[in-house]
Amino acid sequence: MSIPKPPDPAKLVISVFMKERTDLGRIFSDLEEIGGPLDVMSPWLDFDFTDYYYKEMGAPLYRKLLAFKPLIGQDELAGIKLFTNRIEGRFAEDGRRRINIDPGYLLPSRFILATGKDYSHRIYIGEQIYADLTLMVSKNGFKTLEWTYPDYASDQVFRFLGQVREKYLLDLKQYRM
């Protein structure tokens, strides 16, 4: 028999991409409202893996990944996704998003993203939101899956998440003491 135990807290990671880099400053306080103080921010990352968003948002697009200091409960992800959807909606113009915000979390063994879209590999987590197992962690680092978005399979993202994971493991050790 398995004995239930509380899940470990997770490290909140939010991906933000936009056409105008200055838009990040417009939403930064909103992101800190949901995530707390910022822990680590990536440099501007390449966004040349897909043109899927160009029709809606224009091109070129720019991405930043943000990790926040406080650890979160894994069960908070659906509410965080709904909050980030509201931010996107506030900054939309003529029904088109100016900013795309993808919240997720990092655990020692995996990276999860939140989405409103159901699919075979996504697990419903409540409030019309699904958890997408985006990356797994093995002894050799991050491992993609057949459904991993190409931009999350990049070396830039792996390096950033590796840095965040090292900090998270220290935070988790302190949390468990």
- Residue by residue, pLDDT tens for the chain (177 residues) are 999 999 999 999 999 999 999 999 999 999 999 999 999 999 999 887 888 899 999 999 999 999 999 999 999 999 999 999 999 999 999 999 999 999 999 999 999 999 999 999 999 999 999 999 999 999 999 999 999 999 999 999 999 999 999 999 999 999 998
The pTM for the full model equals: 0.96
Helix (H) or strand (E) segment spanning residue 9: none
**In the chain, what's the furthest Cα-to-Cα distance?**
55
Q: Tell the residue number behind the tokens 């999860």, with chain if given.
A: 112
Q: How far apart are CA 68 and CA 83, in angstroms?
A: 16
Q: How far apart are CA 161 and CA 103, in angstroms?
A: 14
Q: Is 99 exposed, middle or buried (0-12, 13-18, 19+ CB in 10 A)?
A: buried
- What are the C-alpha distances in Å from 106 to residues 22, 74, 176? 27, 10, 17
Counted residue by residue, the chain has a size of: 177
**Distance, CA of 167 to chain centre:** 16
Q: What pLDDT score was predicted for residue 171?
A: 96
- Give me the half-sphere count of Cα atoms (radius 13 Å) on the Cβ side of residue 4: 1
Q: How far apart are CA 54 and CA 19, in angstroms?
A: 9
Report the top-level CATH class of 10-176: alpha beta
Q: What pLDDT score was predicted for residue 48?
A: 78
**Intra-chain end-to-end CA distance of the chain, in Å:** 27
Token digits for 136?
Answer: 């797994």
Q: Checking DSSP bridges between strand 122-126 and strand 62-72, what pairing results, if any? A: unpaired
